[in-house]
Amino acid sequence: MNRRRTKSAVLGAVLGAVLALGACGGDATGNEGAVDDNGKVDLSKVTLIVGDQKGGSKALLQAAGQLDDVDYKIEWKEFTSGPPLLEALNAGALHVGGVGNTPPLFAAAGKSEIKVVQAATYGGTGDAIVVPKDSSITDVSQLKGKTVGVAEGSSANYNLLAQLQAAGVKYSDITVKNLQPGDALAAFSAGHLDAWAIWEPFTSQAEQEAGAKVIADGRELANGYNFQVASDAGLDDKATKTALQDYLSRIARAQVWSQTHQEDWAKVWAEETGLSDKITLAAVKKRQVKPVPVDQAVIDSEQKMADSFAANELLPGKFDVSPYFIGDFNEYTTGEK
């Protein structure tokens, strides 16, 4: 697959959808009536619309007991991965949502009206490239000319790119199949893929259910960041922003809890996803979660990623990522407030 075809596939699948949905977005948050004449916010009148992935924020908050005393209503919307979640966020269908380290870059390249407002590092161990159990492939350098499944615009997409670069293989030297996790697992199990770039808990699922072998993980090359991303419209609305301050603090506390209650979290994660406790516990143990501030270190790391995508023509050109990251909520996201 040549570079022109690769570029068209990625930009068409990710940026095209972001731009198209952005055109139909609105500025209303639905929470304008929660602010009284004196400017005081009545959280009981606020509905926070949250984008989630299966076994994501909702499951974590429930497991950590962080949904027991919420003064506002949370409306959950589930997505298969980060890119479609951010498409919905930009379209005005959500206020906030949790994604990996790569989707915000593609959204920013599409000039989405979003901001990264909370960050945590999960380490890169769970981000992996796996091959079938009977594959002769043992190294990333052997992927040249092979067919690799990945959800384009996801964190796995960057890990794949970085691993190929480190091995001296061009992204254009492989045939990319843009597949969401469920479809990719089916294709992988049926022998239609030579390799699959994925994240947890799908990495552990592939290992345990399909006998997959990990040939590379992101410990050295991936920053392991996960983000909560909010819409500009939501941030501009006083009531929604007030609810976000509380919601993001709950997310951070739940992330801290997950590290000290790994078996409890794995059990809830299994119930939410339908996976076995053995799979989710393996996934939990590979993810060392720690909330971090949205600061220059985060921005610099994400800029490096964006530049790498641009250099490989997977984004239309270099751009400054810093306007899409704000530290306004850092005091609420330390896990302590």
Provide the pLDDT for residue 189: 94
164-191 mean pLDDT: 95
**CATH no. for residue 24?**
3.40.190.10
**Do residues 18 and 163 both lie within one domain?**
no
In a domain, 241, yes or no: yes
**Do residues 15 and 163 both lie within one domain?**
no
Looking at per-residue pLDDT, the higher value among 24 and 150 belongs to: 150
Q: What Å distances lie between residue 255 and 31, 95, 107, 230, 248, CA to CA?
A: 27, 20, 25, 18, 11
Provide the pLDDT for residue 191: 95
Rounded mean pLDDT of the chain? 90
Choosing from 184, 217, 250, the residue where a domain stops is 217
**Do residues 204 and 268 both lie within one domain?**
no
Provide the pLDDT for residue 335: 53
Residue 280 main-chain phi, psi, to 5 deg: -70, -35
Choosing from 182, 217, 252, the residue where a domain stops is 217
**Do residues 95 and 134 both lie within one domain?**
no
**Do residues 193 and 299 both lie within one domain?**
no
**In this structure, are residues 31 and 226 in contact, taking their beta carbons and an 8 Å threshold?**
no
Provide the pLDDT for residue 21: 41
Query: Domain limits at 162?
Result: 128-217
Provide the pLDDT for residue 17: 45
At 202-226, the pLDDT tens digits run 999 999 999 999 999 999 999 999 9
**Do residues 85 and 209 both lie within one domain?**
no
Q: Parallel, antiparallel, or unpaired for β 147-150 and 114-121? A: unpaired
**Do residues 239 and 270 both lie within one domain?**
yes
pLDDT beyond 90 at 3: no
Residue 5 pLDDT level (bands cut at 50, 70, 90): very low
pLDDT beyond 50 at 20: no
**Do residues 227 and 156 both lie within one domain?**
no
Residue 16 pLDDT level (bands cut at 50, 70, 90): very low
166-184 mean pLDDT: 95
**In this structure, are residues 197 and 218 in contact, taking their beta carbons and an 8 Å threshold?**
no
**Do residues 119 and 241 both lie within one domain?**
yes
At 93-120, the pLDDT tens digits run 999 999 999 999 999 999 999 999 999 9
Burial of 4 (0-12, 13-18, 19+ CB in 10 A): exposed
pTM here is 0.86
Choosing from 189, 217, 245, the residue where a domain stops is 217
* Cα angle 228, 234, 238; round to 5: 120
pLDDT beyond 80 at 316: yes
Provide the pLDDT for residue 272: 87
pLDDT beyond 70 at 180: yes
> How many domains is the chain built from?
2
In a domain, 79, yes or no: yes
Burial of 139 (0-12, 13-18, 19+ CB in 10 A): exposed
In a domain, 337, yes or no: no
Provide the pLDDT for residue 157: 94
In a domain, 98, yes or no: yes
**Do residues 262 and 319 both lie within one domain?**
yes
At 41-64, the pLDDT tens digits run 999 999 999 999 988 999 999 999
In a domain, 157, yes or no: yes
- Which has the minimum average pLDDT: 8-22, 75-89, 121-135, 207-221? 8-22
Six-digit token string for 155: 């964190």
**Do residues 112 and 238 both lie within one domain?**
yes
pLDDT beyond 80 at 72: yes
**Do residues 263 and 322 both lie within one domain?**
yes
pLDDT beyond 90 at 285: yes
Q: In angstroms, rounded to a whole number, what is the distance separating the alpha carbons of residues 102 and 302?
A: 8
